[in-house]
Chain A
Amino acid sequence: MLALGSDDPPMACHDEPMEPVTDVEMEVEPPDVRQVLLDAFGLPKAGLDICLCVIGEGPLSASEVADALGYDRSTVTRYLNKLVDLGLLRRSELNREDGGIVKAYHSVDLERMRRDTLIGFYLWAGEAASLIEEANVTKQDYLEENPDRELPDVFWESFPED
């Protein structure tokens, strides 16, 4: 228990005086990135390896990633696109001098990702609250507002307060 304030009278528990705790060590182990990616995104090992490789030094070619990890280049490309779908990477198209396009896969801005997720959550929560508010109409309210309509089968009931 964490208590703030004066110690007069001294705090007690089961009639026993409580000792102040001053030497508190709260160590929180940082999550293992591999485990987070495996658990949160269900990445297979190949996807995980590629994801962690992209987090490292760059720019790299897809062939270089494939050579470094021992996968086929097609596997690397497939998982790069999968990581884009999961929102762990971003894909941009760059112009080539001789025409055509080269695809570049880059790590997301983690701060932006956090901000976007938070905004998405707030939007969702706002919509959910609006829906709940809309549904939270009593039978009586409904009948008053819609005197000539039938009452739906499922409806919120109002209960008189005791």
Chain B
Amino acid sequence: MTVRRRQVLERLAAMSDADAECTTTVGELAASLEAEEDRVAKHVERLAACDLALHRPTGVRVTVTGEELLALDTDGTVVVDPSAVDAGP
């Protein structure tokens, strides 16, 4: 089954938590989405490159950035520019 990256992010947000540092695994994500694990793993890698997901020793979780992006309630098409970092004063 083809799975979209947005779906992976949404499911990751449902199965993990940024504040509580609660993680899940790619395998659990893939099973939940009924998708191929390799495919889901690639999406997770891309999400991590966008600072939307974070690998931890216990698995993977959504980040605060990922949660905020989902809260934007866009129709799912987003380009994230991690280079445009404003670290502040």
Q: Whose C-beta in chain A lies nearest to the C-beta of B82?
A: A102
* Contact B79 A101, beta carbon cutoff 8 Å: no
Q: From residue 26 to 48 of chain A, which have CB atoms closer than 8 A to chain B?
A: none
Bound-complex Cα distance A65 to B82 (A):
13
- Can you spell out 18 A-B residue pairs with CB atoms less than 8 angstroms apart? A57-B77, A59-B6, A59-B52, A59-B78, A62-B80, A62-B81, A62-B83, A77-B81, A80-B81, A92-B72, A96-B51, A101-B84, A102-B65, A102-B81, A102-B82, A104-B72, A106-B78, A109-B75
Asked if A160 is at the interface of the complex by the 8 Å CB criterion, the answer is no
Q: From residue 28 to 63 of chain B, which have CB atoms closer than 8 A to chain A?
A: 46-47, 49-52, 54, 63
* A76 contact set on B, CB distance < 8 A: 79
Number of A-B contacts (CB under 8 A): 116
* B52 contact set on A, CB distance < 8 A: 59
Q: Mark A97-120, 1 if CB is under 8 A from B, else 0.
A: 101111111110100000000000
Asked if A64 is at the interface of the complex by the 8 Å CB criterion, the answer is yes
* B65 contact set on A, CB distance < 8 A: 94-97, 102
Main secondary structure of the interface of A (DSSP, over half): mixed
Q: Whose C-beta in chain B lies nearest to the C-beta of A101?
A: B86
Q: A residues touching B (Cβ–Cβ < 8 Å)?
A: 53-65, 73, 76-77, 80, 90, 92-97, 99-107, 109
* B64 contact set on A, CB distance < 8 A: 95-97
* B82 contact set on A, CB distance < 8 A: 61-62, 102
Q: What is the size, in residues, of chain B's interface with A at 8 Å between Cβ atoms?
A: 33
* Contact B77 A97, beta carbon cutoff 8 Å: no
* A100 contact set on B, CB distance < 8 A: 85-88
Known: A53-B79, A100-B85, A109-B75; 15 extra A-B contacts, CB below 8 A, are: A59-B5, A59-B46, A59-B50, A59-B52, A59-B80, A60-B50, A61-B49, A62-B80, A65-B79, A100-B86, A102-B82, A102-B85, A105-B80, A106-B72, A106-B74
